[in-house]
Structure 1
Amino acid sequence: MPHPRSAEFSSAWSFASGVSGWLTEDQAALLWDATIDLPRNAVAVEIGSHQGRSTTILAAALRDRGGRVIAIDPFVDGRLFGGAKTRERFERTIDEAGVTDVVELVAEYSTRARPGWSRSFDYLYIDGKHDYWTLSDDLRWSVHLPEGAPVLIHDCYSSIGVTLGILAHVLPSRRLVYERRAGSLALFRVGRPTWRDRMRIVAEMPWWLRNVMIKVLLRLRLRGLAAKVFGHDSPYDPY
């Protein structure tokens, strides 16, 4: 269940909300809530950091308990990603948030970093490349997590690639349990799912199909129709 929003979270969100990105306040609160029961000195792995909006939330949540964030992002050059400029903004964000001592940057593709990874951690946040193959590989990072650890996935039940990955790998999984979501940010936990847990994933499919239809309408430049039919009055995809 959601925790009451603390003054510490409000302060962290006040800063993070000024950083470019797609994380909403409710989603930031879910990231924060998922750290509450972690042990002292917990380590969170974040796949996909962009300019640091979510990174600062995780760092603020873990800092007072001696925790750390390992931020994994290749900062690819190109129109959609920004490359070196985005990395500069990320590093500036972390510095301005005062969490440079809490955040460790691994400037690499998650799919390249994973095969040789041997360090355990306590929390996994996946917001990397949203295609089926990358998401499928990123889910394999969860083998390093202990029982009950949170696994959070952004653009879940919104992105076609991410959702197909969930259906192929999490729905039949014997070690990930779906808990809840805030928009397209879904919270799973390491554990043995029941039949009812699996059906709760299936129950999100109508919401996913709604989001796919909105994306189609936006691509066709029919934003007005998306607003009228689905209540989505935004030029951006649902997230």
Structure 2
Amino acid sequence: MSQAVGVSELLAAARAAPGFMPDDEGRALYEAARSVAVPGPLLEVGSWMGKSALYLAAAARETGRQVVTVDHHRGSEEHQPGWEYHDPSLVDPAVGRVDTLPHFRRTIADAGAEDVVIAVVTRSETLAPLWSTPLALLFLDGSHTEESARRDQDAWVATLAVGGTLAIHDVFPDPADGGQAPYGVYRRVVGSGDFQELPGTGSLRLLRRLR
């Protein structure tokens, strides 16, 4: 597809892409990214096969920003053999490990978003100490264990510009609905007093950094 593909086409591609984000939450992420008032790139932690990256890409296309995605592309704990979301077709037989990077690249390329999406293939905590550009939007959607979710919070929230937007996915106050690690991140961020909560959608929580 042409690199000139428009916002509506990117949103349609996001809806059709493989992944776990409902369209109403994806549209809310897009709206949050397109409306953020401070300069800077959009960065997501945890990309899977690129669905949420396309919602962010639509906002980036509209506002002249870039999207940076950070993922080791070896899958989270729940994607490993014997776990709930394991898909054997995603295992690279040469190394015997999950590898979602080829699928991610195909998703971004097929949507015509390669000019606005920059993929960094590493662990989130490896990149964070090297990062110096204040972020306009930070989207946390990485591994959902308590340890890794806290690690992503500690590594990246400080890089968000004042006035920037923090988006946290899979926030479930009721343990019966889902894991509690992202909810813990959300509670800690709200409790810091440094953020103002914005209207969210479904399991997506949005907050603006005040200081």
Match of 2:200 in 1: 181
Aligned residue-pair number: 184
Select the structure that is richer in strand: 2
**Aligned equivalents of 2:158 and 2:99: distance in 1?**
33
Which residue is 2:169 aligned to? 154
Q: How does 1:7-156 map to 2 (within 5 A)?
A: 10-38=8-36, 42-76=40-74, 78-79=80-81, 80=86, 82=90, 85-140=99-154, 141-156=156-171
How many Å apart are 1:39 and its aligned residue? 5.0
**Over aligned residue pairs, what C-alpha RMSD do you find?**
2.2
In structure 1, the residue corresponding to 2:10 is in which secondary structure? helix
Structure 1 stretches of 5 or more lacking a match?
1-7, 193-239
- The question of whether the paired residues in 1 share the 8 Å contact of 2:49 and 2:101 is answered with yes
**Mapped partners of 1:186, 1:10: distance in 2:** 24
- Unmatched runs of 5 consecutive residues or more in structure 2: 1-5, 91-96, 173-177
> Which amino acid letter does the alignment assign opposite residue 153 of structure 2?
L
Structure 2 residue identity aligned to 1:54: S
Cα offset, 1:123, TM superposition = 0.6
Q: 1:127 corresponds to which letter in structure 2? A: D
Look at both structures and tell me which one has the larger radius of gyration over its CA atoms. 1
Deviation at 1:14, TM superposition (A): 1.9
Give the deviation of 1:13 after TM superposition.
Answer: 3.0
1:233 matched residue in structure 2: none
The share of aligned pairs that are identical, in percent, is 29
Q: 2:185 aligns with which of 165, 172, 180?
A: 165
Cα distance in structure 1, aligned partners of 2:190 and 2:40? 27
Report the counterpart of residue 5 of structure 1 in structure 2. Answer: none
| Contact 1:68 1:104 survives alignment (8 Å) | yes
In structure 2, C-alpha distance between the alignment counterparts of 1:52 and 1:46, rounded to whole Å? 10
Deviation for aligned residue 1:166:
2.8
* TM-score for the superposition, normalised by structure 1: 0.70
Q: 1:153 to 1:88 in 2, by over 3 A?
A: same
Contact 2:168–2:186 under 8 Å retained in 1: no
